[in-house]
Structure 1
C-alpha cells in the first residue's frame, strides 16, 4: 500500500519529479511553494495560533479566562477577545521570541494576529454581541488540535493509497451547523486554485472521518481582507475530482 501525506500530494502538484525524489527519501532536496513577502514569520504564526486553540480546547484555566473575556460587560466582543489573546498569549510569546525578530516582522506578526482575531470574533459572534451561553459555545466550536487524520483512497485501477494530513484548524460553525477546515496562508492570494486543491484533501479527510463535507475558510494573512470562503458544495465537487490528483 502506498502511503502519502497531503503535503506530498501538494508537492506532486508543483513538480512530479521533485515528488519522486521525496518518495525516495530525499526529504531536503527541494524547496517549493508560494512565498510571501518574508516579512511575516508564517511558521511562528501557525505555531502561536495552534497553541491558542489547544489551550482553549483543553486547558481549564485558559478556558475560564476566555469565558471571562466573552462575558465581559464591554459590548465590543472583538476587543474583549483581542485583550484576552494579547495578554494570555501574544505578549508572553513576544517576550520570549522578539530578540529573533526584526521590527518589521513583529509588526507583520501583530497584523496577522489581529486579522485572525477578527475572523475568530466574527465566528463566535457574527452580530458582535456577547453570546448567551459562552461555555456551550466554546465546547461546540473548539476541539482538540490532535486531529491528524488518515483514510484510504481507492484508485480506478484498484490500487489503495493511504492519505494522511492535519489541517491548520478544525472548527464547527454553530450558526450554519457546518464543520470548517481553516487554513492559514502567510502571504497574499496568488494561486487560489492550487491552494484549494491542497485544502480540499484535508476536507476529504474530514468528510471520511465524520461523514460530512466541511466548509473551507482560508486566511491570506498578508491581504487587507484575508478571508476566502468555499462552501461545502464547491468542496464536494473538488473531492469528486481527486482521482486526477491522487492517481500516480
Structure 2
C-alpha cells in the first residue's frame, strides 16, 4: 500500500521538541570550507533558518522526497534551492562543505553503504553531521508493532518503520574514515495535550507510525489508537494538566573525512 505524503501541520505541532536535537548537532560543527550546505531530508525546513544563520554566505540547499514538506520549507525563506528527490539515491551537483541530516536517514536502509558514500561526496575538510532517533525499543515505538500484531497477527511487516543501527556499528563503519564523534542524548520532553488521544500518540503517529497506519483502514486505525492510548497512559502517565513527560533518545555523529 502506498504511503500518504507527510502532514506538515501534524509534524510541526511538536516543532520545538523536534528542533532542539538539530540545534545541538549544529553546535558541534566547527569551521568548514567553502561550498554548499545541504539539509538532507530537510522536511518542512524547521532547521533551515538556524543553518542559514550559522553558515552565513554559504548556499543552503534543501533536499526531501515530500512535496508537501518542501512547500513548507520554501516558506521559511532560508533556502537558496529546494530539490524534490529520493535522498537514498541523491548525489550532489558539486562537493558540499556540509551535509547535515536531522531525523531523516533512519528512514533509509543500508547505512553501511550510504554513509561512506555521503562522506565521500564532501569537499576537502567538509563535514557530515547526522542525528537520528534511537527510540525503537521504547514503549512509544515498540508498542505500535506489538499491539498491531496482537490485533491482526502477521498483517504488519515489522520492517516498515524506520530505525538505525547500534552505535558501535556506526563507529566501526565511520571512525576509520576520519575525525569521527559519536554520542547519544536522552531528551525529557513535556508534551502538551493536543486533540484527542495521549500526547505521545500525537507525537509518534505523525512520524514513526505512518507506515503502520497506512496499512490499516480508518476503523482499524481507530481501534489501534484506543489500545495504544491505554498503553501510553501506563508507560507515560499523564500529568495534572494533561501533558506527559516523554523520554526520547537520539543518536548523533559527525565526521570530517581524512
Given the two structures, how large is their TM-score scaled by the length of structure 2? 0.26
Structure with the higher fraction of residues in strand conformation: 2
TM-score, scaled relative to structure 1: 0.27
> Which structure has more helix as a fraction of its residues?
1
